[in-house]
Amino acid sequence: MLQIDIREVNNQQELEKMFHQRWLVLRSPLGMEKGSERDNHEDGAVHLVGICDRQIIASARLRESSPGVGNISYVAVLPEFQNQGIGTKLIENLIVKAQQKNLKSVRLMSRINAIKFYQKIGFSEQDNPFEFLGIPHIFMQLEIPA
Ligand SMILES: CC(C)(COP(=O)(O)OP(=O)(O)OC[C@H]1O[C@@H](n2cnc3c(N)ncnc32)[C@H](O)[C@@H]1OP(=O)(O)O)[C@@H](O)C(=O)NCCC(=O)NCCS
């Protein structure tokens, strides 16, 4: 069994390594440049990373997008570590963070191929699919138990 440590990013240097890992998983396969993996909401967000053998192999972000509502984004597990339960653990940890922040619900934009992954954790689909970065997505939501 792999030893994976899931925790918040420690410092600026680690944050930069996380952006690189995020780019590798979510932007490089789409032919997008470095820098396309970040936005204006990084400061103040919760950045969780999964560490294996001192390497960042997984990452995801949570922020409060409106009062009481969380937004999860940039969920990324390196290909060689996918389908081993790491993404699920990452989201479960973010849900605990959302609970600690007294958020009532969390929303995310799921790529169509990841719908089942989020459904298993308890998210349900909202509204209709739409295109983002040329990929079909759908909004999904989870109510946070108090
Ligand atoms: C989607 C992603 C975050 C899931 O993380 P993961 O660690 O691979 O997922 P887990 O191992 O916790 O998977 C749990 C379940 O989801 C399913 N699943 C995971 N990735 C899937 C995928 N791409 N397509 C279909 N099902 C998937 C698994 O089959 C597993 O179900 P099972 O237990 O019945 O086998 C990860 O595969 C990833 O980074 N993919 C590429 C980038 C991406 O699509 N990110 C999501 C953007 S919304």
Judge whether residue 124 has pLDDT over 90: yes
- How many Å lie between the centroid of ligand 1 and the Cα of residue 39? 23
Residue nearest to atom 7 of ligand 1 (CA): 87
Asked whether 120 and 91 are in contact (CB, 8 A), the reply is no
Average of pLDDT values for 119-140? 97
d(CA 60, CA 38): 12
CA angle 18, 9, 69 (to 5 degrees): 95
Residue 66, φ and ψ in degrees, nearest 5: -155, 165
Number of domains in the chain: 1
Structural domain including 9 reads 5-143
The separation between CA 61 and the C-alpha centre of its own chain, rounded to angstroms, equals 5
Residue 18 has pLDDT above 90, yes or no: yes
87 C-alpha to ligand 1 centroid (Å):
7
CATH for 72: 3.40.630.30
Q: What is the pLDDT of residue 145?
A: 81
pLDDT band for 43, please (50, 70, 90 cuts): very high
Please, which pLDDT band fits residue 19 given cuts at 50, 70 and 90?
A: very high
